[in-house]
């Protein structure tokens, strides 16, 4: 693998590339790459698939197409919503790339591409200004590979990634490569993937990996061979291909446009408990980034264009129902400014006792700055109470917009309970009335038991943890040899959901073999009272003989 900074040689190679593109007969027939030439389309598309998968580019990312040539990969990147930079040493190639792009029929809202001519040594791109660099069959035409890697490292942001799909050993001696060298004078090198990884780490990349690219038919098996392979779970099929994909990562945190582990600790600092139907209210939260991904903040204003939060989340719904936010306004704002992958705090509205949200996008709270892992910030959120009186639960979770909510539905890190209106609203376990539980032992064995728990009182049991107390858990109390409670706080089990009067939930208790003399089951409204102290009967589970 060649690595030389000889400037005369570089000038000769650039001149050869320029002549190649100037004299290219019918360049339009190559605008359809990677689908031409037809006999190589399958393999080229497969290689492209590997590149895109490992590049992990997301809408809004700035991606450099290194050695863009006729710009077909630039067009692919634009179709994925990226801001693409076509970089090449040939001005003629970039002019042809512009023509190819004009003929590509890109969507009207696709990001605009930049076309940048490169002198072979220094990219005219600012430090730490791009998110990804993609290179498809271009590095093996470059003599100064270490210099290229150093430049790519310079222009990448922390957490950025560069991917190279290149031919490996034997390419330079192939007939096609030798013909191109003889006819055009271009460089036809071959890339030693392992050596390239070593070189990349020497110039500062934090991580370098190689992905083998097998030939399309290499791993073909007959059905019996496949069954044998699958049953043995041995996926190490021999690689007899030539090419490889090299994946390089610059140190630093990935960001929320292409996240790794998204996690948040959310605490409610201030919120109302009782509100009139349809009234506007505010919640103040403390949010800490506990994952490994930098959160990019969602701005509420881009230039002169301000998000209409009132129209997006506070517009009242029909009388007698909860609000249904017209999210189209919010989505159009995000799409108009390429803000996919920005992090907000989202609120969901649930009727107490329900397993599905009444409003899955009840509101948003906005960060005022990006948050690196370990950083925290206070977030204010405006919400409008439902117009129907009742008892509701509002959960708060991180949202990586257009990517994912941080937690599974119903498993948000924080919650409040909201009492709307005065009439016909059930009591809840923060200020309980009658706390009565009916027990049924459903299953017993192997150190565990399953019980059905029915709410026979007049008070809704709240399941989500609350800093002020009043949420309900199942308490497992260990008994002594005399059948008396030896440890009242031996175990706690979370309720699977809020439980309204008359409803039943099932709960499993594990580790009963550790309680030699049996256990007593009771419910507890945390920081308020045990149900037995309020007159409800506990359940005794004696040891199995």
Could you tell me the CATH number of the domain that includes residue 513?
A: 2.60.40
**Residue 502 within any structural domain of the chain:** yes
Above pLDDT 90, what percent of the chain? 71
> Do 237 and 279 reside in the same domain of the chain?
no
Q: Does any domain span residue 445?
A: yes
Do residue 176 and residue 221 come from a single domain? Answer: yes
pLDDT of residue 409: 66
Average pLDDT of the chain to the nearest whole number: 90
pLDDT of residue 320: 45
Q: Indicate whether 58 and 204 sit together in one domain.
A: yes
Range picked from 77-81, 408-412, 413-417 for highest mean pLDDT: 77-81
* Nearest to 443, CA basis, from 493, 509, 497, 536: 509
* Residue 173 and residue 100 in one domain: yes
pLDDT score recorded for residue 241? 65
CA–CA separation, 195 and 521 (whole Å)? 64
182 and 324 fall within a common domain: no
DSSP string, 65-86: EET-TT-HHHHHHHHTT-EEEE
18 domain-assigned: yes
Per-residue tokens: 430: 């923060």
Give percent of the chain with pLDDT exceeding 70. 93
pTM for the model stands at: 0.69
pLDDT (0 to 100) of residue 240: 56
- Per-residue pLDDT tens for 507-518? 999 999 999 999
| Mean local confidence (pLDDT), 49-53 | 95
- Residue 103 belongs to a domain: yes
User: Looking at the predicted structure, is the pLDDT value of residue 73 above 90?
Assistant: yes
d(CA 142, CA 307): 47
Residues 97 and 210 in one domain: yes
* The total number of structural domains that make up the chain: 3
Query: Residue 324 above 70 pLDDT?
Result: no
CA distance 227 to 220: 13
235 or 22, greater pLDDT: 22
State yes or no: pLDDT of 500 exceeds 50. Answer: yes
Pairing assessment for the beta strands 359-366 and 301-302 based on DSSP bridges? unpaired
What domain range includes position 505?
437-541
pLDDT value, residue 17 = 95
pLDDT at residue 179, rounded to an integer: 86
The H-or-E segment that residue 472 falls in is strand 472-479
- Residue 72 located in a structural domain: yes
Three state DSSP letters for 220-244: CCCHHHHHHHHHHCCCCCCCCCCEE
The pLDDT score that the predictor gives to residue 233 is 54
pLDDT of residue 317: 57
Strand order in the sheet with 62-66: 114-117, 83-88, 62-66, 130-136, 156-166, 243-249, 207-213
On the question of pLDDT at 417 being above 80, the answer is yes
Q: What is the mean pLDDT of residues 306-315?
A: 92
Least confident of 325-329, 402-406, 490-494: 325-329
Distances (CA, A) of 388 to 278, 396, 527: 8, 21, 30
- Using the Cα atoms of residue 199, residue 251, residue 72 and residue 119 in order, give the sign of their dihedral: negative
Pair 386, 349: CB distance under 8 Å: yes
Burial annotation 423-458 (CB, 10 A radius, 16+ → b, else e): eeeebbbbebeebbbebeeeeeeeeebebebbbebe
Q: Is residue 448 helix, strand or coil?
A: strand
State yes or no: pLDDT of 265 exceeds 70: yes
- Assigned domain for 2 exists: no
pLDDT band at 195 (very low <50, low <70, confident <90, very high): very high
The answer to whether residue 339 sits within a structural domain is yes
Last residue of a domain, one of 249, 280, 311: 249
* Residue 218 Cα distances to 42, 191, 537, angstroms: 14, 21, 69
Going by C-alpha positions, the residue among 359, 269, 358, 256 that lies closest to residue 312 is: 359
Query: Is residue 9 over pLDDT 70?
Result: yes
CB neighbour list of residue 510: distance below 8 Å, 6 or more residues apart: 447, 448
Q: What is the mean pLDDT of residues 221-244?
A: 66
Domain identity same for 66 and 22: yes
Q: What is the CATH number of the domain that holds 182?
A: 3.40.50.150
Which of 249, 281, 303 is the last residue before a domain boundary? 249
57, 153: one domain? yes
Specify whether 392 is located in the same domain as 454: no
Domain match, 280 and 235 both = no
pLDDT above 80: residue 411: no
pLDDT digits (tens, 9 = 90+) for 74-116: 999 999 999 999 999 999 999 999 999 999 999 888 888 999 9
Contact 328/397 with Cβ under 8 angstroms? no
Residue 529 tokens, joined: 């009272």
How much is the average pLDDT of 451-458? Answer: 95
Same domain flag for 410 and 515: no
Calculate the CA dihedral of residues 343, 345, 348, 353 and round it to 10 degrees.
120
- Any domain includes 244: yes
| 474 and 495 Cβ atoms separated by less than 8 Å | yes
Of 374, 402, 425, which marks where a domain is finished? 425
Please report, for the domain that includes residue 414, its CATH number: 2.60.40.10
List the one residue out of 317, 469, 301 whose CA is nearest residue 386.
317
Chain centre distance of CA 233: 28
Question: Residue 392: is it exposed, middle or buried by C-beta count within 10 angstroms (0-12/13-18/19+)?
Answer: buried
In this model, does residue 35 exceed pLDDT 90?
Answer: yes
Question: Do 144 and 186 fall into the same domain?
Answer: yes
How high is the pLDDT of residue 319? 47
């Amino acid at each position: 693998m060649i690595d030389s900074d000889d400037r005369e040689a570089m000038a000769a190679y650039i001149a050869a590339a320029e002549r190649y593109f100037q004299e290219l007969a019918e360049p339009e027939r190559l605008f359809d790459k990677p689908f031409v030439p037809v006999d190589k389309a399958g393999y080229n598309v497969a290689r492209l698939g590997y590149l895109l998968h490992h590049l992990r580019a997301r809408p809004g990312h700035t991606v450099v197409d290194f050695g863009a040539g006729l710009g077909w990969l630039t067009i692919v990147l634009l179709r994925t919503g990226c801001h693409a930079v076509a970089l090449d040493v040939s001005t003629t190639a970039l002019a042809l790339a512009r023509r190819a792009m004009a003929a590509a029929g890109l969507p009207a809202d696709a990001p605009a591409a930049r076309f940048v001519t490169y002198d072979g040594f220094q990219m005219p791109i600012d430090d730490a200004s791009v998110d990804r660099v993609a290179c498809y069959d271009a590095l093996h035409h470059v003599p100064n590979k270490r210099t290229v890697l150093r430049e790519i490292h310079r222009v990448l942001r922390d957490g950025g990634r560069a991917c190279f799909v290149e031919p490996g050993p034997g390419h330079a001696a192939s007939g096609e490569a030798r013909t191109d060298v003889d006819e055009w004078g271009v460089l036809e090198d071959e890339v030693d993937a392992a050596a390239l990884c070593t070189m990349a780490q020497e110039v500062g990349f934090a991580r370098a990996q190689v992905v083998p690219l097998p030939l399309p038919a290499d791993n073909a098996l007959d059905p019996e061979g496949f069954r044998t392979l699958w049953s043995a779970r041995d996926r190490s099929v021999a690689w007899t291909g030539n090419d490889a994909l090299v994946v390089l990562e610059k140190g630093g945190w990935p960001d929320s446009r292409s996240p790794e582990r998204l996690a948040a600790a959310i605490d409610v600092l201030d919120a109302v408990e009782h509100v009139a139907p349809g009234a506007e209210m505010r919640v103040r939260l403390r949010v800490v980034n506990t994952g490994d991904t930098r959160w990019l903040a969602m701005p509420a204003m881009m230039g002169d264009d301000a998000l209409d939060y009132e129209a997006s989340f506070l517009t009242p719904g029909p009388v007698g129902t909860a609000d249904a936010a017209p999210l189209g306004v919010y989505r159009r704002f995000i799409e108009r400014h390429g803000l996919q992958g920005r992090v907000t705090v989202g609120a969901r509205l649930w009727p107490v006792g329900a397993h599905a949200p009444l409003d899955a996008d009840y509101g948003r709270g906005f960060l005022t700055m990006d948050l690196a892992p370990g950083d925290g910030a206070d977030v204010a959120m405006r919400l409008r109470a439902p117009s129907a009186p009742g008892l509701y639960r509002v959960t708060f979770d991180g949202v990586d917009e257009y990517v994912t909510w941080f937690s599974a539905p119903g498993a948000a890190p924080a919650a409040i309970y909201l009492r709307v209106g005065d009439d016909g609203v059930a009591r809840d376990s923060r200020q309980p009335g009658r706390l009565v539980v009916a027990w049924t032992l459903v299953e017993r064995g192997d150190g565990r038991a399953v019980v059905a728990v029915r709410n026979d009182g007049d008070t809704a049991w709240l399941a989500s943890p609350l800093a002020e107390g009043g949420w309900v858990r199942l308490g497992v109390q260990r008994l002594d040899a005399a059948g008396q409670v030896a440890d009242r706080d031996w175990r706690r089990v979370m309720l699977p959901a809020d439980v309204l009067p008359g409803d039943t939930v099932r709960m499993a208790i594990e580790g009963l073999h550790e309680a030699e003399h049996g256990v007593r089951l009771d419910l507890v409204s945390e920081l308020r009272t045990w149900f037995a102290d309020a007159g409800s009967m506990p359940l005794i589970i004696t040891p199995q003989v």
